[in-house]
């Protein structure tokens, strides 16, 4: 059974058909990249999956269960977490707090227990902290040392992106949707992040769907690449096939120079 399955999704904004008839399956343990020109509907697809928008038609099936119509928090609790293309961190909270909040929904203790600091609650809190550090440690000292207690608004752009990824992982989701994880990073850092995303899967056991424009990253880690254009899926397959697809070159990559 595939982890995530999209069946004939449609979404329009006014007259604009942002997503039309998109179907997609993602299997457990895969890294799937979604590429496509600007405005192709990639982020919209993420928004549909996570419940920020509701599809006009079609089904979204996660672990065999239809999740259309759920609010974003319910979707997250089902096991899908995401990062935002335009960064939506809790800017005045510290990095650590940012990574603790997504674990809140798993808390079993009620608010009264939290106030009373019952042993059960304290244990849970301890576990949350451990998990937060574990997720942050994917990024090594970049977020771990003094950055841990810095409020997010002092972080530079790339460090914010890293924090967002750690935060998404901390929800305890199985499936991560990463919207342009390497934006704002230089080639060297992009390489670093590529390795880290691979480790998300290998060590963290996540299944990953990502949107990217940096082809070397996509090429290096994707098991499968899906190409969207004007809301439609125009190609799907492994990286090599896709980048040599003339339709993709025409719509997205442009004339290859090398």
Ligand X SMILES: Nc1ncnc2c1ncn2[C@@H]1O[C@H](COP(=O)(O)OP(=O)(O)OP(=O)(O)O)[C@@H](O)[C@H]1O
Contact at 8 Å (CB) between 82 and 90?
no
Please give the order of strands across the beta sheet that includes 31-35: 80-82, 175-179, 207-211, 31-35, 224-229, 232-237
244 binds, among other proteins, Mg ion, ligand X, none (CB under 5 to 8 A by kind): none
Binding other proteins (rule: CB under 8 A), the pick from 6, 32, 89, 234 is 89
**Nearer to ligand X (CB atom), residue 4 or residue 155:** 155
Residues 22-81 that bind ligand X (CB under 6 A): 36, 38-44
Binding ligand X (rule: CB under 6 A), the pick from 88, 120, 123, 157 is 157
Q: Judged by CB under 8 A, does residue 37 bind other proteins?
A: yes
Contact stretch for ligand X (CB under 6 A) within 22-30, 87-95, 130-138, 150-158: 150-158
Q: Judged by CB under 6 A, does residue 158 bind ligand X?
A: yes
Strand partners, 35: 227
Which tokens sit at 213? 């424009």
Residues 184-223 that bind other proteins (CB under 8 A): 184-192, 213, 215
Binding other proteins (rule: CB under 8 A), the pick from 82, 135, 174, 224 is 82
With vertex at residue 228, the alpha carbon angle to CA 225 and CA 233, rounded to the nearest 5 degrees, is: 90
81 binds, among ligand X, Mg ion, other proteins, none (CB under 5 to 8 A by kind): other proteins
Strand partners, 25: 5
Residues that bind Mg ion (CB under 5 A): 43, 85, 157
Binding mask of the shown chain, residues 116 to 155, with x at each position contacting other proteins by CB under 8 A: xx---x--xx--x-----------xxx--xxx-xxx--xx
Contact stretch for other proteins (CB under 8 A) within 20-28, 166-174, 201-209, 230-238: 166-174
Q: Judged by CB under 8 A, does residue 50 bind other proteins?
A: yes
**Nearer to ligand X (CB atom), residue 95 or residue 128:** 95
Half-sphere exposure of 135 (CA within 13 A, CB side): 26
Distance CA 83, CA 86 (A): 9
Contact at 8 Å (CB) between 166 and 135?
yes
Reported as type and span, the H/E element at residue 98 is: helix 95-100
Q: Measured between alpha carbons, how far is residue 96 from residues 2, 72, 132, 206, 256 in Å?
A: 33, 22, 7, 21, 43
**Nearer to other proteins (CB atom), residue 25 or residue 234:** 234
Distance CA 234, CA 34 (A): 11
**Nearer to ligand X (CB atom), residue 111 or residue 146:** 146
- Which distant-in-sequence residues (6+ apart) come within 8 Å of 229 by Cβ? 36, 37, 40, 247, 251, 252
Q: Judged by CB under 8 A, does residue 72 bind other proteins?
A: yes
Q: How far is the CB of 44 from Mg ion (least distance, A)?
A: 8
Helix, coil or strand: residue 114: helix
């Amino acid at each position: 059974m595939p982890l995530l399955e999209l069946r004939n999704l449609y979404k329009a904004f006014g007259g604009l058909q942002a997503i039309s008839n998109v179907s997609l399956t993602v299997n457990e343990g895969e890294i799937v990249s979604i590429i496509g020109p600007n405005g192709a509907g990639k982020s919209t697809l993420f928004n549909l999956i996570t419940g920020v928008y509701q599809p006009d038609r079609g089904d979204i099936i996660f672990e065999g269960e239809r999740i259309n119509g759920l609010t974003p928090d319910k979707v997250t609790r089902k096991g899908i977490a995401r990062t935002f293309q335009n960064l939506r961190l809790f800017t005045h909270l510290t990095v650590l707090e940012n990574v603790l909040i997504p674990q809140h929904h798993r808390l079993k203790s009620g608010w009264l227990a939290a106030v009373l600091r019952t042993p059960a609650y304290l244990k849970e809190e301890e576990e949350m902290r451990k998990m937060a550090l574990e997720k942050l440690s994917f990024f090594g000292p970049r977020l771990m040392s003094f950055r841990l207690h810095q409020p997010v608004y002092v972080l530079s752009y790339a460090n914010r992106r890293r924090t967002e990824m750690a935060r998404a992982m901390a929800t305890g989701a199985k499936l991560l949707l990463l919207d342009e994880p390497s934006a704002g990073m230089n080639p060297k850092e992009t390489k670093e992040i590529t390795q880290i995303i691979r480790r998300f899967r290998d060590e963290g056991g996540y299944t990953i769907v990502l949107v990217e424009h940096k082809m070397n990253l996509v090429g290096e880690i994707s098991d499968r690449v899906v190409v969207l254009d004007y809301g439609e899926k125009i190609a799907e397959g492994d990286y090599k096939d896709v980048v040599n697809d003339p339709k993709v070159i025409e719509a997205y990559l442009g004339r290859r120079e090398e």
